[in-house]
Structure 1
C-alpha cells in the first residue's frame, strides 16, 4: 500500500530588519510621557544619575538610545560591568547602564562607577525592570546609594498607544497591515511591547514561509498555533 505523500515544509529565510529607535519614531503616550520629558530635559536633570524603571519591552531601551545620541553617551549592560572598566566607561562624561537586575551585576564595580560619576560630574542613565527600592543588595553602601537615585517609571502602553506600537513594529519589518488586523491583535495578546514584538515576528515569519500577505486570517492561525 502506497504511503501518503507529505509535502516538504517550506523554509522562510530570516531577513535582517532594523527596529527604528530614533526620537522621531518614539511613540508617546500617557504611559511614557514623564520618562520622555526627562530625556528631553537633559542636561537639566534633578540628579546626574537617573533611573528608568518599567517592564520588559516598555520602551526603556528606546529612551536610553535617544538620550545616548543626545548626550554622546556610551552604553553597557549592567551584568558586563567590571571594576577595571569603570574609568573608560565614563570617558565621554555620559553613560547608559542597561538592565540592572539584582544578583546579576558586580556590586563593587557599580558602587565605584557611581562614586566616580559624582566626582567627575558625569551623567548616568540606568534602566531596570523594577525600582531599586525592591532590590536586595548585600553591599550596604551601594544599596543606600541606589535607593537615593530618582526613579522615573515607564508603564505598560494604553490601548491607543498599543495599537500604534503594533503598526510601528509591522512598519519596521515593511509589513503592510490594516485596521482589522491591528484591532484583532490589540484585543487578543498581552498588552506589552515584548508580546507585540514576538507576535509581529511570528506573523512576518509565517507570511514569508507561506508566501501569504499579513492579514487578520493569518493572525488567527498564528495565535491559534501558539496557544
Structure 2
C-alpha cells in the first residue's frame, strides 16, 4: 500500500484536574496534591506516569509558576520565589553545581516567603543523585508522593485519554488488545498511541487492532 506524506502535529494533552484519572496506583499522590496545606512536596514516578499533569493541577490550584530544573539560574530565583513554584525533573540537574545551588536558594527563599514548593522527578529521591549536601537533605526532608506502575484498568483509561488527546477514536477492541501486549508503563502507552497516529495518517487506515498488530509484529522482528 502506498503511503502519503503526513505531518507530525503535536497532540494537545488535557491537563485539568477532571482529566486526571484516579486509581489505586496514584490515589495517595492525588490526595497529597489536593491537600489544603502543602508547603513542600516531592512528586515521583516513572516517565509518563502523570507527574507533569498533577504538577499542572497543583499549579492551577495554588497559582504557582512552573519551571524546568534545567532552566534554573541564580538570576531568576527572586522572581520565581514571589509565588508558589513547581520545579520539574529535578534529577536532570544532578551534578550541575550552578543549578543545584540555584534550586537550593529557590527552596529557601520560597519557604521564607511563606509560599509552597513542589518538585518532581523520576524514581525515589534517594536515587536522584543530588550532590549538594544541603539541597539533598532538604529534598529528603520533604513529604513525598509516588505515582506507581498502572494496573490494567488505569492503563486502559490512560490509553483512552491519549487517543482522545489526539482526537482519535479507536476501534472498540483496540484498547484491550494493547493492554495485554504493550509494556506496563505510561511511556509505552504514549509511544504506541503516537506510532498508531502516525501510521494511520501515513497509510490512510483507521486506528485499529490490525494496524496495532502490524506495529507490534515489527517490534518483535526488530528484536530478533
TM norm structure 2: 0.91
Shift of 1:103: 2.8
What SS does the corresponding residue of 2:108 show, helix, strand or coil? helix
1:67 corresponds to 2:61: no
1:169 correspondence with 2:162: yes
CA 1:131–1:104 in 2, change beyond 3 Å: closer, same or farther?
A: farther
1:179 offset after TM fit, Å? 3.4
With over 3 angstroms needed to count, the CA separation of the structure-2 counterparts of 1:97 and 1:13, relative to structure 1, is same
Within the candidate set 167, 181, 185, 1:192 is matched to 185
Moved segments of 4+, more than 6 Å: none
Residue 89 of structure 2 corresponds to 99
In the alignment, structure 1 residue 21 sits paired with structure 2 residue 11: no
Question: 1:116 is matched with which residue?
Answer: 109
- Find the counterpart in structure 2 of residue 4 from structure 1: none
Aligned twin of 2:5 = 11
1:222 counterpart residue number: 215
Seen in structure 2, the aligned counterparts of structure 1 residues 137 and 214 have a Cα distance that, compared at 3 Å, is closer
Deviates more, 1:111-120 or 1:136-145: 136-145
Q: Answer yes or no: is the 8 Å Cα contact 1:79–1:104 preserved in 2.
A: no
Q: Which of residues 202, 213, 216 is equivalent to 1:209?
A: 202
Work out the CA distance in 2 between the residues paired with 1:17 and 1:143.
36
8 Å contact from structure 2 (residues 156, 176) kept in 1? yes
Given that residues 95 and 123 in structure 1 are in contact (C-alpha distance below 8 angstroms), is that contact kept between their aligned partners in structure 2? yes
Which of 21, 25, 41 is 1:31 aligned to? 25
Take 1:8 and 1:177, find their aligned partners in 2: how far apart are those partners? Answer: 22
Q: String of CA shifts for 1:160-217, please: whole Å, max 9, x gaps.
A: 0101111111111111123321111111111111111110011011111111111100
Post-superposition offset of 1:76: 0.4
Q: CA deviation at 1:21?
A: 0.9
| 1:157 is the counterpart of 2:150 | yes
Number of matched residues?
A: 217
Quick check: 2:25–2:149 contact (8 Å CA) kept in 1? yes
Q: CA RMSD, aligned part only? A: 1.6
Distance 2:4 2:89 in 1: 37
- SS of residue matched to 2:184: coil
Residue 176 of structure 2 aligns with which residue?
183
Instruction: For residue 9 of structure 1, report the CA deviation from its aligned partner.
Output: 4.1
Shift of 1:104: 4.9
Instruction: Tell me the distance in 2 between the aligned counterparts of 1:203 and 1:124.
Output: 38
Which structure 1 segments of 5+ residues have no match?
1-6
Seen in structure 2, the aligned counterparts of structure 1 residues 137 and 40 have a Cα distance that, compared at 3 Å, is closer
